[in-house]
Structure 1
Amino acid sequence: MTADERVVETDDVRPPGERGRTVISDRVVERIVARAAEETAGSGGLDRSVLGVGLPGRRAARTDVRVHGKVVTAKVAVSVAYPLPVRDVARRVREGVRERVEALTGLTVRQVDIDVAALERPTGRTVS
């Protein structure tokens, strides 16, 4: 019997409700949110710092995600490229996060709060 001739016995296939369950941790959803936020044009991660002293390198967008059953609420802190319209970039980040989380997890995103923590000059320096 070749691979194309294999027969699947329908008696052995269990209904979807009996196959088990999938659990997606809050941390996984946080990473999806951070990645989606950074991939939005005009937004990015934040400078690294300790006690207000800048450090070399960047970190991902800061996120705080809560998953209650199948509902997600998220807070995201990002930087916005100067001089792009902050409101437009925030709207695109919100939409991108919602679409990506719902597509990858099947969860419903109820709310995405955006905190613009910094403006980035074209040279990569932060505007305070």
Structure 2
Amino acid sequence: MTVPADPRGVTTVADRVVQKIAGRAVTEVPAAGGAARRVLGIALGDDELQDHPVVDAHVDGGVVTVDVEMSVTYPEPVADVAGAVRRRVDERVSSLTGLRVAQVDIRVTSLVTGTPATRRVE
């Protein structure tokens, strides 16, 4: 995106900058976490809360669209966490870049427990 800063020049915000801001905003929401990269729908690794979410952003003029892949802590309500993430991403991207966030699409790829599962052997 390019906006006139003043008569001396313009400011351009790259897609990658918005991606980083949005990714950081996701991690600021309790119960939201990272997602493993996927190829043909198959996870390459595990979905972990401490990992980074997968974020894609597109800047078109002064408008941004963001796609987020993330995990949610079980048993938190998925819709509530996704709504909180959507609001936080909108707030952070808007305040830090001056761009208008038109859409934040969220894909929850996994529910993760706060503690690793243990197997019981009898």
Provide the residue aligned with 2:120 in structure 1: none
Change (3 A) 1:52 1:42: closer
When Rg is computed on C-alpha atoms for both structures, the one with the higher figure is 1
**Count of aligned pairs:** 110
2:18 aligned residue (29, 32, 50): 29
Moved more, 91-100 or 20-29: 20-29
One-letter amino acid of the counterpart of residue 27, structure 1: R
The alpha-carbon distance between structure 1 residues 86 and 106, as it changes in their structure 2 partners (threshold 3 A), is same
Distance in 1 (CA, whole Å) between partners of 2:43 and 2:98 is 38
Unaligned runs of 5+ in 2: 118-122
Could you tell me how far apart the structure 1 residues matched to 2:98 and 2:92 are?
10
C-alpha RMSD of the superposition: 2.3
Unaligned segments of structure 1, at least 5 residues: 1-15
State the Cα deviation string for residues 71-94 of structure 1 (Å, max 9, x = none): 000110111000000000000000
Query: What corresponds to 2:62 in structure 1?
Result: 70
Structure 2 length as normaliser, TM-score? 0.80
Whether contact under 8 Å (1:48, 1:59) holds in the other structure is: no
**TM-score normalised by the chain length of structure 1:** 0.76
Distance change in 2, residues 1:115/1:123 (3 Å): same
